[in-house]
Chain A
Amino acid sequence: MLLNEKCCEKCRHDEDRPCPRWADCRTASPLCHDDEQCAAKRREGVERLLRRRMDRPAVFIGTGTCGLGAGAGKTLAAVRTFLQEHTLDADVVEVGCIGLCAAEPILDVQMPGRARVSFQQVTADKVPALLEAVFAGSIPTDDVLGQHGGNGLETWADVPRIDEHPFFAPQTRWVLANCGLVDPASIDEYIAHGGYAALGTIIRAKTPREICEMVLASGLRGRGGGGFPTGRKWLFAMETPAEQKYLICNADEGDPGAFMDRAVIEGDPHRLLEGMAVAAYAIGATKAYVYIRAEYPLAIRRLKDAIRQAKAYGLLGHNILDSGFNLEIVIKQGAGAFVCGEETALIQSIEGKRGMPRPRPPFPAVAGLFGKPTIINNVETLANVPAIAARGAEWFAAVGTESSKGTKVFALSGKVERTGLVEVAMGTKLRQIIFDIGGGIPGGLAFKAVQIGGPSGGCIPSQHLDIEIDYESLKTVGAMMGSGGLVVMDEKTCMVDLAKFFMDFIQRESCGKCIPCREGTRRMLEILSRITRARRNESGADALHRFKGVMYLDRLAEVIKDTSLCGLGQTAPNPVLSTLRWFRDEYEAHIYERRCPAGVCTELLQYTIDADACKGCTLCARKCPTGAIMGAVKSPHYIVPDKCIGCGTCVEVCKFNAVKVS
C-alpha cells in the first residue's frame, strides 16, 4: 500500500482536506478514526518500507553517476538476467551513492529477516557466483564490505559490520544518512525513515520567525563556501516586506573536485525538497528554483521525479497539508558558467541574462530575483534543515567547534586510496580524513599537500594536517572551506603546475565585467606559463620579462584580491598565493634552475635516448612533431636538445622504453 492511499472507507482525509498530522497519520496509525486493523496495516507498510519485513530477497545496486561510471549499469543488467534465468523472485532496487566511490560498483543483498550485506567492486562477471552463494545462504567473504545492522534483524556470523569499516567508522552521517541505502525514487521510503514529519509539524505549529531563529540558534552556516549564518540570512528576507519572495537552491556545483550536491540529489532528493519547503515557509517564499548543472542529467531526472511525487502527496504545491502555505519548485538548468555560483550572477542567469555579478548592496535578501527578496542556499545547507527541524537546534549545535556547528561533507579525491564522499563532524582533523578514512596515499608515495575549496581555496601542506577543520581554522592557513572538495596530492604533483591549472580555469571562467579579474588573472597565468617554459629561442628581453613577472606576482595577486567585484575575483589568486606560501622552493627550482622537481612540467624535462635499448625502429623520429630525433634505421637514435619541445610523444610511442626522461 502506498502511503497516500486510504487505509479504509472510514478515512476522511483526501487531497483537499489532508490530515494535519500527515506523517504520523500515514506511518503510525490513522488519526481520523480508531481502528486497530488500519493501524496494524499502516505499521506493516512502514515495516516493509524499512525492509524489516520482507517476502522476498532484495538486491540493491548503487547507480549514482559514480557507480554508473564504474560499470553499475552492466552489473544491474547482469542481476536482472541472473534472476530471470533462475526464475527467482527478488526486488531489484537502484539506490544512490553510499560514498565509497573507490569500491564501486557496490551491490547489496538482503535476505528476508537477515541483515543487509554490501559487496564492493561487483562487476557484471562476478554477479552470478555472488548471488548464487548469497541466495544459498552463505556470504562469500572476498568482496564483502560489511553488513548493516541496528534494525533488529538477524546478523550474519563472521561478516564485519559496515559501520566498523575504516571508511565509515569515523564519519557522522547526517546529510548522507539515507544516501545509498534508500530508494531515491520512492517518497514512501523517505517518509518511512522519518521524512516530511518535521515539515508537517513546522507549518502547523511554528511561525516563520521561530524557524529562522531556530536555524540561527543551531549555528548552521552556508555550506557553499562563504559560511554566512543561514538563520541570519533568512531573517533578512523574512523581515523584508514584499508580495513575492523567492528561494533559490544553488545546485550549480561548479567547483572542480566537489560532487556532494550531486550525490545528495541523486541519492536522497526528498531531503533537499523538505529542506527547501521549510526554508521557503520561513522566509515567506511561494516560488523556489533549483539551479542545477546541466552536466548532472541523472540528478535532474531524480529531482523531477521527486517533485512530481511530493506534489501528488500534497507535500508541495497548493495549500500544503491544508496550512494555506503554497510552494512551487521549478528546476532551472545552468548552462555551464563557474561564476554563476556567485549569488547575483546566478540571479542574472535565471533571468535569462549573461551571468555577471553586480555590486552588493542591495543584497539579494532585499532585492534579488526580478527585484524581489531572494534567498540563495546551497544544496548541502538545505539538506541539513530537515534534521534541525526534526531534532531541534540544540541537537545540531552539540556537534562541531566553537564557531562551526554540525557536519560537513567532503569530496575526497585525487591521490588517495579510498576516494569518495566523507561526512565528518566539524573539527575533525584533516589527517584523520586523509589517512584514516581515505586510507592514505596509494603506491607508498609521500603526501605533499591537500587542495581544499576548489579554485578559490588553497593548498594545505603536511605540517598543517593536524588543524581541526572549520571555517576559521582553514583561513589561518590560507585556504577556505569552499564547497568541500578535497584533492589529495602526492610527491609526483607539481605545485606550480597546479597553480597554473587553477589560473587557467579562473581566467577562462572570469565573466569579464571588472578589469582586475579579467586582465589580472590572465597576466598571472602568463607569468606562471613563462616559469614553466624551457629556455628555447629565448631572447634577453624574454628572460627579463620572466623575472619581472615573478617579482610582480605577489603584488598583482594582492591587487586582484582587493579590487575585484565578486567572490570569484577576490579569491582568484588564492591557489597561487597558497602554493607560493608553502612551496616556495618548488617555484624557485622552476625559476632559477628551470627544473620541475615533481617531473610534471613536460617542457622542463630533458629527453635522451638510451643507445643500448634503442632498436632503431624510427617510430619516434616519425612521430616527433619538430623533427628533433635523428638516426638511421636499425641504429640507435638521438634527440637534438635544441629542437626538442618536450612534448613527450617519443616516450609514449617507444615500444622498448628507450627514451629516458630526467
Chain B
Amino acid sequence: MIQTDIDSILDKHPNAGRDALIPILQEIQEAHGYLSKDAVLRVGQRLNLPASKIYGVATFYNQFRFQPVGKFHIQVCRGTACHVKGSAAVLEALKRELKIDAGQTSRDGLFSLEVVACIGACGLAPVICVDGEFHAKLAADDVKGVLDEYRGKANNSDAA
C-alpha cells in the first residue's frame, strides 16, 4: 500500500533532480506523517541518490520525522516571546501530563509532542498548536483542559 503511495508522489515529479528532493520528502511526510525507511530507499532509487545522502538532508532539517506521529500532533512554540511568557512551564506540564518527552508519541497513540522554534504568533504567547489549531496565552494549568478537549474528540469519533 505505502509503496504505491510513494510511487504516486514520485510520479508527480517526472525527471526530478536533486532540487526536488526536499519537496518530495515534504509531500511524503504530509501524506504519511513521517519518513519511513522504505520511503527513503524508494526516493533514493528514483532520484539516483544514495540513502545516506537523503538521510543526511532529512536529518539536517527540523521538519522531518522518522517516527509516526500521534492522532493529534502538538507543536509547542519555544520562541523568545513564548519563553519570556513562560512556555517552559507549559512544555513541562505537557510532558508530565502525557508522560512523554519532546519528539515522542504517547502510549495510547493519541498525542505526539514536538518543540518548534517559532510559530509566528508571538503576540499571543505562549502558544501551542494542535493539528493546526492554535491555543493562545496558555498557562501550565490550562494544559490538562486542552488535552481533555482532544481526548473527548477522540472518544466521540471512536463512538461514531
A interface residues with partner B (beta carbon < 8 Å): 65-66, 68-70, 101-102, 104, 253-259, 262, 293-297, 332-333, 335-338, 349-355, 411-415, 419-421, 451, 454, 485, 487, 489, 493, 498, 501-502, 505, 509, 511, 649, 652
Instruction: Please give me the residue from chain B that is nearest to A298 by CB atom.
Output: B132
Among B56, B93, B124, B127, the one with the most A-chain Cβ atoms within 10 Å of its Cβ is B124
Decide: B80 and A485 in contact? CB cutoff 8 A: yes
Instruction: Please give me the residue from chain A that is nearest to B47 by CB atom.
Output: A352
Decide: B23 and A420 in contact? CB cutoff 8 A: no
Contact of B60 among A69, A337, A421 (CB under 8 A): A337
Closest 4 pairs between A and B when the two form their complex, measured CB to CB: A101-B123, A256-B79, A69-B134, A335-B61
- List 13 extra interface pairs beyond A69-B134, A258-B122, A414-B81, CB under 8 A: A65-B119, A69-B135, A101-B121, A104-B124, A257-B118, A295-B120, A333-B23, A336-B61, A336-B117, A338-B117, A351-B19, A498-B83, A652-B93
In the assembled complex, the Cα of A332 lies from the Cα of B140 at a distance in Å of 36
In the assembled complex, the Cα of A68 lies from the Cα of B135 at a distance in Å of 9
Instruction: Please give me the residue from chain B that is nearest to A489 by CB atom.
Output: B84
- Residues of chain A within 8 A (CB-CB) of B117 are 254, 256, 336, 338, 505, 509
- Residues of chain B within 8 A (CB-CB) of A354 are 56-57, 60
Decide: A259 and B84 in contact? CB cutoff 8 A: no
In the assembled complex, the Cα of A11 lies from the Cα of B3 at a distance in Å of 54
Decide: A66 and B63 in contact? CB cutoff 8 A: no
In the assembled complex, the Cα of A258 lies from the Cα of B125 at a distance in Å of 12
In the assembled complex, the Cα of A440 lies from the Cα of B50 at a distance in Å of 56
In the assembled complex, the Cα of A511 lies from the Cα of B81 at a distance in Å of 24
In the assembled complex, the Cα of A505 lies from the Cα of B82 at a distance in Å of 13
- Residues of chain A within 8 A (CB-CB) of B116 are 295, 336
Contact of B134 among A65, A253, A262, A485 (CB under 8 A): A65
- Residues of chain A within 8 A (CB-CB) of B51 are none
Decide: B122 and A259 in contact? CB cutoff 8 A: yes
In the assembled complex, the Cα of A57 lies from the Cα of B79 at a distance in Å of 40
Is B20's CB within 8 Å of the partner chain A?
yes
- Residues of chain A within 8 A (CB-CB) of B141 are 652
Instruction: Please give me the residue from chain A that is nearest to B57 by CB atom.
Output: A354
- Over the window 117-157 of chain B, the binary record of Cβ atoms lying under 8 Å from chain A Cβ atoms (1 yes, 0 no) is 11111111101000010111000110000000000000000
Decide: A253 and B120 in contact? CB cutoff 8 A: yes
- Residues of chain A within 8 A (CB-CB) of B80 are 256-257, 413-414, 451, 454, 485, 487, 498, 501-502
Instruction: Please give me the residue from chain B that is nearest to A625 by CB atom.
Output: B96
Q: A254-B117, A353-B57, A419-B123 are in contact. Are A68 and B134 (CB under 8 A)?
A: yes
- Residues of chain A within 8 A (CB-CB) of B84 are 414-415, 487, 489, 493, 498
Decide: A355 and B60 in contact? CB cutoff 8 A: yes
Instruction: Please give me the residue from chain A that is nearest to B140 by CB atom.
Output: A652
Q: Determine the interface band of chain B, counting residues with CB < 8 A from chain A.
A: 35 or more
In the assembled complex, the Cα of A301 lies from the Cα of B43 at a distance in Å of 26
Q: Which of B4-48 contact A (CB under 8 A)?
A: 17-23, 25-26
Is B71's CB within 8 Å of the partner chain A?
no
Q: A353-B57, A487-B84 are in contact. Are A333 and B26 (CB under 8 A)?
A: yes
Q: A257-B81, A353-B57, A414-B85 are in contact. Are A70 and B122 (CB under 8 A)?
A: no
B10 to nearest A CB, angstroms? 14
Contact of A69 among B18, B26, B93, B121 (CB under 8 A): B121
Instruction: Please give me the residue from chain A that is nearest to B82 by CB atom.
Output: A256
Among B23, B81, B124, the one with the most A-chain Cβ atoms within 10 Å of its Cβ is B81
Decide: B23 and A332 in contact? CB cutoff 8 A: yes
Decide: A255 and B19 in contact? CB cutoff 8 A: no
In the assembled complex, the Cα of A208 lies from the Cα of B98 at a distance in Å of 58
A449 to nearest B CB, angstroms? 11
In the assembled complex, the Cα of A367 lies from the Cα of B25 at a distance in Å of 27
Decide: A352 and B22 in contact? CB cutoff 8 A: yes
- Residues of chain A within 8 A (CB-CB) of B61 are 335-337, 355
Instruction: Please give me the residue from chain B that is nearest to A647 by CB atom.
Output: B92
In the assembled complex, the Cα of A297 lies from the Cα of B125 at a distance in Å of 19
Decide: A259 and B85 in contact? CB cutoff 8 A: no
Decide: B85 and A415 in contact? CB cutoff 8 A: yes
Q: A333-B26, A352-B18 are in contact. Are A259 and B57 (CB under 8 A)?
A: no
Decide: B85 and A337 in contact? CB cutoff 8 A: no
In the assembled complex, the Cα of A259 lies from the Cα of B57 at a distance in Å of 27
Between-chain CB contacts (< 8 Å), 13 pairs? A66-B123, A69-B136, A101-B122, A256-B118, A333-B26, A337-B62, A353-B18, A355-B60, A413-B122, A414-B85, A419-B81, A419-B125, A487-B80
- Residues of chain A within 8 A (CB-CB) of B81 are 256-257, 413-414, 419, 485, 487
- Residues of chain A within 8 A (CB-CB) of B56 are 354
A574 to nearest B CB, angstroms? 13
Q: A256-B117, A351-B19, A353-B57 are in contact. Are A336 and B62 (CB under 8 A)?
A: yes
Decide: A66 and B23 in contact? CB cutoff 8 A: no
B15 to nearest A CB, angstroms? 14
Among B80, B96, B136, the one with the most A-chain Cβ atoms within 10 Å of its Cβ is B80
In the assembled complex, the Cα of A333 lies from the Cα of B79 at a distance in Å of 20
Decide: A102 and B123 in contact? CB cutoff 8 A: yes
- Residues of chain B within 8 A (CB-CB) of A335 are 22, 25-26, 61-64
B51 to nearest A CB, angstroms? 15
- Residues of chain B within 8 A (CB-CB) of A101 are 121-124
Q: A65-B134, A294-B63, A413-B125 are in contact. Are A254 and B118 (CB under 8 A)?
A: yes
- Residues of chain A within 8 A (CB-CB) of B136 are 69-70
In the assembled complex, the Cα of A531 lies from the Cα of B121 at a distance in Å of 31
In the assembled complex, the Cα of A229 lies from the Cα of B94 at a distance in Å of 46
Decide: A336 and B18 in contact? CB cutoff 8 A: no
Decide: A69 and B64 in contact? CB cutoff 8 A: no
Q: Which of B87-126 contact A (CB under 8 A)?
A: 93, 96, 116-125
Decide: B19 and A259 in contact? CB cutoff 8 A: no
Instruction: Please give me the residue from chain A that is nearest to B59 by CB atom.
Output: A354
- Residues of chain A within 8 A (CB-CB) of B120 are 65, 253, 258-259, 262, 293, 295-296
Instruction: Please give me the residue from chain B that is nearest to A649 by CB atom.
Output: B96
Q: A336-B61, A351-B18 are in contact. Are A295 and B124 (CB under 8 A)?
A: no
Q: A69-B134, A70-B124 are in contact. Are A257 and B79 (CB under 8 A)?
A: yes
B24 to nearest A CB, angstroms? 9
B75 to nearest A CB, angstroms? 8
- Residues of chain B within 8 A (CB-CB) of A296 are 120
Decide: A501 and B83 in contact? CB cutoff 8 A: yes
Decide: B121 and A65 in contact? CB cutoff 8 A: yes
Among B18, B60, B62, B120, the one with the most A-chain Cβ atoms within 10 Å of its Cβ is B120
Decide: A255 and B26 in contact? CB cutoff 8 A: no
Decide: A66 and B19 in contact? CB cutoff 8 A: no
Instruction: Please give me the residue from chain B that is nearest to A353 by CB atom.
Output: B57
In the assembled complex, the Cα of A419 lies from the Cα of B63 at a distance in Å of 28
In the assembled complex, the Cα of A611 lies from the Cα of B91 at a distance in Å of 31
In the assembled complex, the Cα of A649 lies from the Cα of B125 at a distance in Å of 22
